[in-house]
Amino acid sequence: MLKQLIFFSIILCLSFNAQGGEWSGYIASELRYFPQSPLSIDQYENVNIALSAQPEYHHEWDNGDQYFRFVPFVRLDQHDSERSHFDIRELTWLKAAKNWELRLGIRKLFWGVTESQHLVDIINQTDLVDHPDTEEKLGQPMINLALFRDWGTVNFFILPGFRERTFPGRKGRLFGGGIPIDMEQSRYESGAKEKHVDWAVRWQQMLGNWDIGLSHFSGTSRAPRLLPGTDERGRFVLIPYYEQIEQTGLDLQLTREDMLWKLEMISRNDQDGRFTALTGGFEYTFVGVFDTDASLGVLTEYQFDDRHDNAMTPFEDDLMLGMRLALNDAQSTELLAGAVFDLDSSARSYLVEASRRLGDSWKLSLDVYIYSDIPIDDLAYGFRHEDFVQLELAWYF
């Protein structure tokens, strides 16, 4: 199927390019440094280099009422063969009318408002080999119909073709605590497996200072349970198991001058029954700090899951504190720094994300992640030796 999509994409791009389409995108080099030794002798030590590219082709016609977009992605990793991969992030045709839009193909879309965790964002699968922050997503095949009405926008989604979560390989870092994830043995609750057709619907509306989103998803969970097992050589591995879920989500954002109040809440039904989780907090921005053009935002968010110690996430009773600095200069210099505190244990994690443009075409990014005092019964225990510094230099065209 992937080969056919690639061939189809090339043909479309060549035909549209003759009609005046446009290319853009980036090529990036990445250096990661891990100061601590890995937990497994199979994992690499200290330094890893990777190269990635994400070109983008887009073309519109019919007075802008029809639009085509193609965004492939490729990465080559020095040590981890699972991290070296190709994906089609987007391959979408759009037809727009006055009161509706129809999209067909492969897309990425984002739902949510909070910073520390995106509970309601469930359409796309996480590309976990990209980064442990779970921000990057795989492209999802879909049929999407949007209806625009005075009382809000309603999006209907038919989602054929499930995408498995990517995991680092046996030599990779940043997940599993040195225990390999055997994706060759992936299991499904549905007899249709990855061919199960999911569906979703979302309503969104702006009411004064409120941004409101209400969604429902029915289908295969994007986050697998990891079951103990063995591979063909009898070695201990973790096996992904994808169950069927029903999830209703609510996201709210209230804007009051320099203050943003944010909330994401879900109610999900899975094999263990129904549970509720939420992330909520605020961001206050100081504009023109120290009589400059810079702005400084202060963030606070609380994460809760009513399964408590039985939650399949380490964020069941946690507090996130952070700050966001934007110099608002010609180089678009930005800095995000934060810490997540587990209120039930000594576990802490710290992050710094910074970026700055270099000239018109280059961008330098720095990420620092530190995991501290993770207890043995915490789901994040496998990250205890995974502190890392990442430096990325990207050229945009």
Q: What is the pLDDT of residue 305?
A: 97
| Closest to 169 in 3D by CA, of 158, 178, 160, 161 | 178
Number of domains in the chain: 1
Q: What is the pTM of this model?
A: 0.91
Pairing, β 236-242 against β 244-256: unpaired
CATH of the domain at 186: 2.40.160.10
CA distance 225 to 221: 9
CB neighbours of 370 closer than 8 A, spacing ≥ 6?
349, 350, 351, 387
Residues 339-369 pLDDT 10s: 999 999 999 999 999 999 999 999 999 999 9
Query: Residues 33, 312, 200, 105: what is their CA dihedral angle, to the nearest 10 degrees?
Result: 30
Domain extent at residue 131: 2-396
- Residue indicated by tokens 């709210």: 252
Q: What is the pLDDT of residue 175?
A: 76
| Closest to 315 in 3D by CA, of 269, 379, 388 | 379
With a cut of 70, list the residues of the chain below it in pLDDT: 1-20, 176-177
